[in-house]
Amino acid sequence: MSESLTVQRIRPTPPSTIVIFGASGDLAQRKLLPALYNLLDCGGGAMPQNSAILGFARTQMSREQFRETARSAADKYSRLKIKDDCWRAFADQLDYLSGLDAPDGFQRLRKHLEETEKTRGLPPNRIYYLSIPPSAINDCVARLADVGLIAAPQAPHFTRVVVEKPIGHDLSSALSINATLRRHLAESQIFRIDHYLGKETVQNLMVLRFANSIFERLWGNRNVDHVQITVSESEGVGSRAGYYDHSGALRDMVQNHILQLLTMLTMEAPVSLDAASIRDSKINVLRAIRPVRAEESRSMTVRGRYGAGVVDGKPVPAYLDEKGVARDSRTETYVALKILIDNWRWSGVPFYVRTGKRLPKRASSIIVRFKDVPKILFNRESQLAPNRLTIRIQPDEGFEFDILSKQPGLDVAIRPVRMNLSYATEFSGQTSPDAYERLLIDIMDGDHTLFPSEEYVQKSWQLVQGILNAWAEDGAPPIEEYPAGSWGPAGADALITEPGRSWREP
């Protein structure tokens, strides 16, 4: 095989200070700090060594304590094994300030930043990573602006603000967050995170589609029968009930991650690889998705909630018995949808998507099921198995192509065979960076390609809000209970109405 071709190379990023708002929280500890450590990786990583990372949160903690909690989190969650000497170099960049909720907290932040930059000889390039609840974003951005911590977009040094999903709780709160961001910042200064876009296999969707000549010719209603997207989790709500019970699977997974997978899979080829072109292509898909009408909510949507059951051989409680979940909760932990895209390429091809907690395993995949060959020759007497392309997003990343082959022998016997590419075997020795590593380095570099735009967020919420509204009407689908460890409620099977088609294991 020939050598790889590098189309875009990671550039050295300018030194900056990254302020993590909510640094004592779960996301910072499990994802952001380990990702930053990996990016530094003893100077062998992509991040400049002379940067600073400032944790800013409500919790009272000394700098030393922050470094210690960061170390235990990194030991537990880092992709690379932590080496003591590299950790010392990394820890040297870590600093902490409490007072996120104090009346003069932001003034103190400003003073602290100026001192840090002075003592470390850093330019005032600042990245504010808002790892805080969506309801706190508006206030936080306004306070940053009030104390003069947001530089103009054309200033010689950059200010970038990173907001985590979920951006809003519904359409109106998403619009309000976007309006606040727009009031104080230019779009070039805003980075909206959907960590699925940082996953190696999700980025590879574009390469698969547009670097190979065979797939694009097949990609559309002439050849594709239907598509299934499954994002399945074996975990339950865990310690996040406080957030999740007000969110649910539709808001938590479909509004962002699943629609991202869908738009990457179905968009037209962008005119170039720049962020604006890719964003335009994706938004055009959202524009073409048929909104769910209230009277169709039962035939287009299914919602479920896990009951008690067994996952990985262990008994687990029902959602309603989880700590922090309201006894009369109406939150769905599973959702399945039939999505139709009314454009030239995809008209008539159903996209079945489903996601849920407490399903049998953690596995995400996209399955493209191609149309049958005509009912002549080999397909005349009995139904042949269809061709399928399976894109395994995680874990065991890779592709599978199911095709048919003659079984060796004197008879003409036809058998399904599988062509399989597994990242682990093909790219052995090269571990994929964590999604947050990819996204953090792009923020430092100012590259928006993997970040949803304001319009994307608005359009995706419009679609989801349509479903939420339909669910609030009489005649909405019931919340069906499914046993933990099963593939979801029975209603999901009825969503796929074409004869001979059914959900496939991801």
Which lies closer to ligand BG6 via its Cβ, residue 298 or residue 361? 361
User: To the nearest whole angstrom, how small is the minimum distance from the Cβ of residue 38 to ligand BG6?
Assistant: 16
Q: By C-beta, is 165 or 305 nearer to ligand BG6?
A: 165
Q: How far is the CB of 82 from ligand BG6 (least distance, A)?
A: 21
Of residues 195 through 214, those in contact with ligand BG6 by CB under 6 A are: none
Both tokens of 222, joined, read: 């002439």
Q: H/E element holding 87?
A: helix 84-91
Instruction: Say how far apart CA 163 and CA 259 lie, in whole Å.
Output: 18
Size of the site for ligand BG6 (CB under 6 A): 3
Structure tokens given for 45: 């990583």
Rounded to 5°, angle at Cα 458 from 456 and 464: 100
CB-closest chain residue to ligand BG6: 252
Q: How far is the CB of 363 from ligand BG6 (least distance, A)?
A: 10
For residues 130 and 140, what is the distance between their CA atoms, to the nearest angstrom?
8
d(CA 228, CA 506): 9
Give the tokens for residue 229: 């997207």
Helices (H), 99-188: 105-120, 137-146, 171-184
Residues 96-135 that bind ligand BG6 (CB under 6 A): none
- CB of 349 vs ligand BG6, minimal distance in Å: 25
The alpha carbon of residue 361 and the mean position of all alpha carbons in its chain are separated, in whole angstroms, by: 18
Residue from 41, 95, 225, 233 in contact with ligand BG6 (CB under 6 A) = 233
Query: Which residue in the block uniquely carries the two structure tokens 């009031």?
Result: 183
| CB 48, min distance to ligand BG6, A | 27
* Neighbouring C-alpha atoms within 13 Å toward the C-beta of 388: 23
Task: Provide, rounded to whole angstroms, the least separation between the CB of residue 279 and ligand BG6.
Answer: 20
Q: Is the CB of 94 or the CB of 467 nearer to ligand BG6? A: 467
Q: Does the active-site annotation cover 257?
A: yes
Output the CA torsion sign for 108, 114, 116, 118. negative
Classify the phi-psi angles of 504: left when phi > 0, otherwise alpha if psi is within -120 to 50, otherwise beta: beta
Interface characters, 420-439, with ligand BG6 (x: CB under 6 A): --------------------
Q: Tokens 């309201």 map to which residue?
A: 326
140-169 residues in contact with ligand BG6 (CB under 6 A) are: 165
Q: Tell me how far, at minimum, the Cβ of 252 lies from ligand BG6, in Å.
A: 5
Burial class (CB in 10 A: 0-12, 13-18, 19+), 42: middle
Q: How far is CA 245 from CA 225, 334, 432, 487, in A?
A: 36, 13, 32, 21
Q: Among residues 23 and 261, whose Cβ is nearest to ligand BG6?
A: 261
- The whole-angstrom separation of Cα 13 and Cα 237 is 37
- Comparing C-alpha atoms, which of 442, 457, 450 is closest to residue 179? 457
358, two tokens: 């407490």
Ordered alpha helix ranges (H), 157-311: 171-184, 200-210, 213-218, 241-244, 249, 259-266, 275-288, 297-300
Cβ–Cβ under 8 Å, residues 54 and 116: yes
C-beta separation of 233 from 357 below 8 A: yes
Residue 41 or 233: which CB sits closer to ligand BG6?
233
Exposed, middle or buried by CB within 10 Å (0-12, 13-18, 19+), for 266? buried
Q: Which of 112, 195, 226, 257 is catalytic?
A: 257
Beta bridge partners of 130: 21, 163
According to CB under 6 A, which one of 117, 245, 252, 402 is a site residue for ligand BG6?
Answer: 252
Rounded to 5 degrees, what angle do the CA atoms 374, 377, 380 make?
70
Rank residues 17 and 232 by Cβ distance to ligand BG6 and give the closer one. 232
CB 186, min distance to ligand BG6, A:
27
- Residue 105 CB, nearest distance to ligand BG6 (Å)? 27
Of the candidates 392, 426, 70, the one whose C-alpha atom is nearest the C-alpha of residue 261 is 392
Residue closer to ligand BG6 (CB basis): 47 or 231: 231
Name the site residues for ligand BG6 (rule: CB under 6 A): 165, 233, 252
Active-site residue list: 257
